[in-house]
Amino acid sequence: MIDMTIRLTVLAVLALAMANALHAVIVFVRFARLVARRAPHGGLSFWLPAFSSVRDARIWLGHWRALFNSYDPMLAALRLDARTVFTRHIHLTLLSHTWAIALRAIAA
C-alpha cells in the first residue's frame, strides 16, 4: 500500500513539475518577445552584448535596469507569472520532501 502511494505521489509531483516547466518556458518566451519589441535588432544587444569598455557594460546594465524598472503592464504581468512559477516550484519541492518524510515515518 505504501509503495503504491509513493508511486502515485511521484507521478503527481512529476506531472506538476512538467506543467510548471511548461509555464516557465511560456513566461520566458513572452519575456524574450517583449525584449525583442523594445530593443533594436530584435533585442540582440540585450542577450549577446559586445563590451569594448567598462562604460559599455554600464550602459548595458542600465538598459536592463530600465527594462525591469518600467511600469509597463505587460512586464508587470510577466513578473507576476515568473513569481508564480518560482513559488510553485519551491512549494512543490517542500511539499514533496515533506510527504516523503511522512511516508517514511509511517512505513517505519
Q: pTM, whole model, 2 decimals?
A: 0.76
pLDDT band, residue 80 (cuts 50/70/90): very high
Please provide the average confidence, as pLDDT, over all residues in the chain.
87
- C-alpha grid cell for residue 31? 519575456
> Residue ranges per domain, the chain?
2-107
Of the CA atoms within 13 Å of residue 63, those in its CB half-sphere come to: 15
Contacts of residue 67, defined as CB under 8 A and 6 or more positions apart, other chains included, come to: 35, 38, 46, 75
- Higher per-residue pLDDT: 39 or 56: 56
Is residue 2 predicted with pLDDT exceeding 80? no
pLDDT band, residue 94 (cuts 50/70/90): confident
pLDDT of residue 72: 85
